[in-house]
Amino acid sequence: MNLFRRKRDPTNEKSADKPTEQSRLAMVTTWGEYYYAWNGKLYDSDIVRACIRPKVKAIGKLVGKHIRDDPAGGIKVNPEPYIRFLLQEPNPIMTGQQFLEKMATQLCLNNNAFALIVRDVNGYPQQLYPIPCVGVEAVYDKQGALFLRFTYRNGNIGTFAYSDIIHLRQDFNEQDIFGSSPAPALAQLMECVGVIDQGLVKAIKNSGIIRWLLKFTSSMREEDIKRNVQNFVDNYLSIETDTFGAAGVDAKTDAKQIEPKDYVPNAAQTDKITDRIYSFFNTNKKIVQSSWAEDEWTAYFEAEIEPFAIQIGDVFTVRLFSKRERGFGNRIVFEASNLQCASLNTKLAFQAMVDRGAMTPNEWRATMNLAPIEGGDQPIRRLDTQVVNMVQGMLAKMNGENYVVMADLIGKILLSARLEGGGGNAEN
């Protein structure tokens, strides 16, 4: 945790004046004893974990790229090696995929996710670390600069400038800085799930209680009572008995069956509660169980994955680049090939995009899970799909007799191509 204490504490009297305004956010790592049914930990619920896992795994497949859109030099992808290395390996113990999955998990559980930017002496970002905190407080110094004070799981505290923090948030409503906690909305649902689970466990445990009561009219010794009870079980309650479930006792014994009354919620009630949790996380049973169709995954992708990709790309751009660097067209984008989830017919239909130069051959091969080929990064275009004003440009360069001859020749070529393509006849 020494890494998370490199910045000065703005509340220290030697470094800054006391903060003038504060706001707090309690992360939902623990919510206290009230949620005893699920120990106050949202991630311990199998339903919640199943809800967020498809989103987390899909976000982990996002690929971060540094784009430089310079009007003078054109578009360049990953022009700076240090940014490319930072996106591929944010820190020595995480890859880019693991970093994204960690941030996505924290965002789903808390509606807030934080990562620290470690910079070198020149201010360039070197490493990114997700911040494992149980609470965070916003403080302002005398100049109005915003700092975040984090409380870690081990009880230590670290304070960093907000400009060095990657902050993702959703359900951004009540507070000016933090997203609203999901605790109030999920509290009753998680309590119901806990009560249902406890009821099922208790019903299973009650299955081993006494089912029959044998009352003997005469006095017997302890060993005789046990022997008679065992004989009754062996003769009438055993699966392999020859009496076919019929029991007979003499006048010395009175057999009475005991039926426990256990209440177990029916399947409809349990499914409704589960569906409400699915709806809260904007998912459904098909997404959770990976039984979705192409259109269903596309709808889920646009609702959950794409907004995350846009937000994290914008935040990375603002935090990793200065205004001057952004002025030269530097930005971070996170791409995801949603076409890999498309059907084979849909992928083959994108061949037309390759013919028209909208996709490169390697981009199309990536949707088919094929390796790139040499020269496949260059866009290609069929000859009959040239630029619209190409003919007019050629004619504008001609004059005199050449203009008439070439115009007549080009007209005949176009007419011939139209006839061969079934576009009409000479009279038309």
Q: What's the pLDDT score for residue 307? A: 92
Query: Which of the pair, 34 or 68, is modelled with greater confidence?
Result: 68
Averaged pLDDT score across all residues of the chain: 76
Residue 36 pLDDT > 50: no
Q: Give the torsion sign (CA, 142, 147, 152, 156).
A: negative
Q: What is the pLDDT of residue 74?
A: 79
Residue 104: name the closest of 55, 167, 153 by CA.
55
Confidence band (pLDDT; 50, 70, 90) for 60? Answer: very high
Distances (CA, A) of 383 to 96, 153, 350, 355: 41, 64, 18, 9
> Cβ-count burial of 287 within 10 angstroms (0-12 exposed, 13-18 middle, 19+ buried)?
buried
For the segment 149-190, what is each residue's pLDDT rounded down to a tens digit? 998 888 889 999 999 999 999 998 888 888 888 888 888 888
Residues 66-92: what's their mean pLDDT?
89
Q: Show the CA angle centred on residue 201, arms to residues 35 and 199, nearest 5°.
A: 60
Q: Report whether pLDDT(139) > 80.
A: yes
> pLDDT tens digits, residue range 358-400?
888 888 887 777 778 888 888 887 766 666 555 556 556 555 5
422 pLDDT tier (thresholds 50, 70, 90)? low
Where does the pLDDT of residue 293 fall: very low under 50, low under 70, confident under 90, or very high at 90 and above? confident
pLDDT of residue 374: 83
Residue 354 makes CB contacts below 8 A (sequence gap 6+) with 360, 361, 364, 380
- Tell me the C-alpha distance between 291 and 294, whole Å: 10
**pLDDT confidence of residue 288:** 94
pLDDT at position 324 over 60: yes
> DSSP strand E in 249-314: where?
253-257
The pair of structure tokens assigned to 367 is 């949707």
* 138 vs 367: CA distance, rounded Å: 44
* Higher-pLDDT residue of 56, 425: 56
pLDDT value at residue 32: 28
Q: Strand 330-335's sheet: what is its strand order?
A: 74-77, 63-70, 330-335
Q: Cβ distance 166 to 139 under 8 Å?
A: no
